[in-house]
Amino acid sequence: MADKTRFVFVTGGVVSSLGKGIAAASLAALFEARGLTVAMQKLDPYINVDPGTMSPFQHGEVFVTDDGAETDLDLGYYERFTHTHTSKRSNYTTGRIYESVIRRERRGDYLGATVQVIPHITNAIKNAILSLRADEPDIALVEIGGTVGDIESLPFLEAIRQLRFDLGRERTAFIHLTLVPYIRAAGELKTKPTQHSVQKLREIGIQPDVLLCRSEKPIGKGQRDKIALFCNVPSHAVIEVLDVDTIYEVPLKLNEGGLSSVILDHFGMHNPEPDLSVWEDICKKAREASETVRIAMVGKYVELADAYKSLNEALMHAGLTHGVRVEVDYVDAEVLEREGLERLKKSDAVLVPGGFGERGTEGKIAAIRYVRENKVPYFGICLGMQLAVVEFSRNVAGLRGAGSSEFDEKVEHPVIALMTQWEQEGVRVQRGHNDDLGGTMRLGGYPCKLKADSHAGRAYDESDIRERHRHRYEFNNTYRKQLEEAGLIVSGTLPDDSLVEVIEAPDHPWFVGCQFHPEFLSRPYAAHPLFTAFVGAAKKARA
């Protein structure tokens, strides 16, 4: 029954970027390791409807779900740490909540009532949270973005306060993640920020059941007792969270602190101790990797590593499979345009990730030509695949004026173009929720058919796959025959052969471009086949 679901709410205090997403995902992993089913959700206080149109420099990566939602990057942690599949109901923003309420008001659903934050906005938030019960999980974990004390997050905090009242203490638990800073000059940890953060929560009407205390130094029993006394939380529910070498060690550390046991005791649930052998094996592989491969990631958002969060993790997962550490050299494509390609010679392989806009594209194309001609392993994702087609068209197929209509609507040979023509011919694509920028994109999961005798086919070892997309422009089928005759290998298409999904260069040890984003499906316990093959090729090139 749906009523069996218990809810765990995770809030943050003192400062942002303490790792609420990783903590929530790690707790979910502990529940799964005890045989429980989980669902996860992120509530973001910003007014944007979704992060799809936000700058990666501000927000980091946009994580895409199979059903086509553009979401917060924390959902990537949720999927990598658990076996759950996130969806549109896994991420709600202030903008999305208000949009739904205003739409209902315009339709007259409120029968002329004055629409207010309480109860209309908070009811919409509660309904979004309770939608997690649809799959009947044992436990639903809900992360509240932002920091306690922010004006933006107040409606969300009020909504979860009301849910404690609606559902009862035995079906709701509050976890608060705070900072216990170490003051080097004084040589001691300070508990006052945590006390103030909890005081702010209690003013709102929320009493935490568990405190997770981030610190760079161990928190002694005396300090934990002090926090417990002033924050009205049992001492055994004050759990330290120290920095670790790899984020995949966090479930092990939280288990040592007894976090999942505290929550299950709170719920009156009695499940066996967690089997954490998978996480122990992952950490063991990470510690024992002695060899290093160096991969140049040629992009335009390289100043912020979070812009490529899933990519970085997917490369690490593949490295674990091969027993190597993957060192990523973030290369600004515009630097290559100004200073040349000498820097690429220091790397064992090159990856060009997805992106939007013209800036840096000529530097990426130059890098792609270098790796194709010098037989350096190459992996192009989304835009990286499209620019590989442009490079091949210009320098192999003789189409000197080849380009993408994304950057020049009057380009002589638009080998990459909008899909409008093919849609009219019957290609069905999954769109955004309306006619705005998100509504013009091909989003979410699509099937793909692979050629068995290809790098991609051998990597997957199967012919029928499904991957997630996020793009507007496609391989232009008008040029397909001409490019294939010039040697370009089309190794993956939609099952009806209507859209090109994977391309490869001929006579190359490993040169693959894919229109989809395989990084979204990589897991530490199951590295993605394309990343595994790519890192394997880089390892071989280094030998």
Three-class secondary structure of residue 352 per DSSP: strand
Q: What are phi and psi of 13, to 5 degrees?
A: -140, 170
Q: What is the DSSP letter of 151?
A: S
Query: How would you classify the pairing of strands 172-179 and 210-215?
Result: parallel
Which amino acid belongs to residue 197?
S
Which amino acid belongs to residue 526?
A
How far apart CA 294 and CA 500 sit, in angstroms, is 30
- Please state, in angstroms and as integers, the Cα–Cα distance from residue 80 to each residue in 118, 172, 308, following that order: 36, 25, 15
Q: What is the CA radius of gyration of the chain?
A: 25
Buried b (16+ CB within 10 A) or exposed e, 124-143: bbbebbbbbbebebbbbbbb
Q: How far is CA 460 from the centre of its chain?
A: 22
Biggest alpha carbon distance in the chain?
Answer: 75
How far apart CA 90 and CA 75 sit, in angstroms, is 8
Q: Is 61 a catalytic residue?
A: no
Q: Which listed residue (413, 448, 519, 528) is catalytic?
A: 519
Q: How far is CA 241 from the centre of its chain?
A: 22
Nearest to 389 by CA among 352, 419, 421: 352
Which amino acid belongs to residue 64?
V
Three-class secondary structure of residue 518 per DSSP: helix
Q: Is 517 a catalytic residue?
A: yes
Residue 258: CB partners within 8 Å, gap ≥ 6?
236, 239
Q: Which listed residue (231, 283, 382, 448) is catalytic?
A: 382
Q: Which listed residue (322, 455, 471, 517) is catalytic?
A: 517
- Three-state helix/strand/coil letters over 159-202: HHHHHHHHHCHHHEEEEEEEECCEECCCCEECCHHHHHHHHHHH
CB 404 within 8 A of CB 386: yes
- Three-state helix/strand/coil letters over 28-70: HHHHHHCCCCEEEEEEECCCCCCHHHCCHHHHCCCEECCCCCE
Residue 339: CB partners within 8 Å, gap ≥ 6?
none
Q: Is 120 a catalytic residue?
A: no
List the catalytic residues.
Answer: 382, 517, 519
